[in-house]
Amino acid sequence: MITKADGRYRELFLRNGLRAADVVLAHREALGVLRDDIETAHLDAHSDTAWPVEAIPAYERALSMARTRTDAGTRSKGDDLMGIDIDVRDDMQFDVLQTLAPFTIHAEAWRRNRVIFSAGDTGTALWIAVTAPQEAQLLARLDAAGVPPTAFTTHPHR
């Protein structure tokens, strides 16, 4: 499906039934393909399940980022775990996003006031808006990683 807001973008949804490792790779590769287009991004450092051991360092960095911004007055006090802004130009912050996105209850990335990446429900929901070249690049990256070419569909699961 081509989005109504901009006919250059195709909406893709992660299929159900993928192996857990493939879900993680799909999130990581989708963000990698979209990185140059992302202007703003944020994530919630909440998960419906325990964070995997390999995600704990990124989770701790996300908490540190949120606290630093709260202490600096650039982030309101409240739930330090919600709506943590990510600067995707910063490799460390982008790694936090890539690592936590497959496990969070919510992460989004925006370009020109429109969402181009939305992940949630602790890895079970992933939606992206990609151009044709980005889609081809994503499929090539997934294929190289051994993820089935059917990992994404143009129809959301219900």
Tokens of 63: 């908490």
* pLDDT average, residue stretch 77-104: 90
Structural domain includes residue 76: yes
- Residue 12 CA to residue 24 CA, distance in Å, equals 16
* pLDDT average, residue stretch 70-93: 78
Structural domain includes residue 19: yes
- Is the model's pLDDT at 141 over the cut of 90? yes
Structural domain includes residue 3: no
Structural domain includes residue 36: yes
Q: What is the pLDDT of residues 34-65, one digit of tens each?
A: 999 999 999 999 899 999 999 999 999 999 98
Structural domain includes residue 157: no
Predicted confidence band at 4 (pLDDT cuts at 50, 70, 90)? very low
Structural domain includes residue 5: no
Structural domain includes residue 156: no
The answer to whether the CB of 130 falls within 8 A of the CB of 3 is: no
Predicted confidence band at 124 (pLDDT cuts at 50, 70, 90)? confident
**In Å, how far are 45, 72, 86, 97 from 76, measured between CA atoms?**
16, 10, 16, 21
| Domain range enclosing 88 | 10-127+143-148
Please give the pLDDT value at position 118: 96
Q: How many domains does the chain have?
A: 1
Please give the pLDDT value at position 75: 55
Percent of the chain with pLDDT over 70: 87
Percent of the chain with pLDDT over 90: 73
Please give the pLDDT value at position 158: 61
Q: State the residue for tokens 């980005």.
A: 134
The answer to whether the CB of 116 falls within 8 A of the CB of 109 is: yes
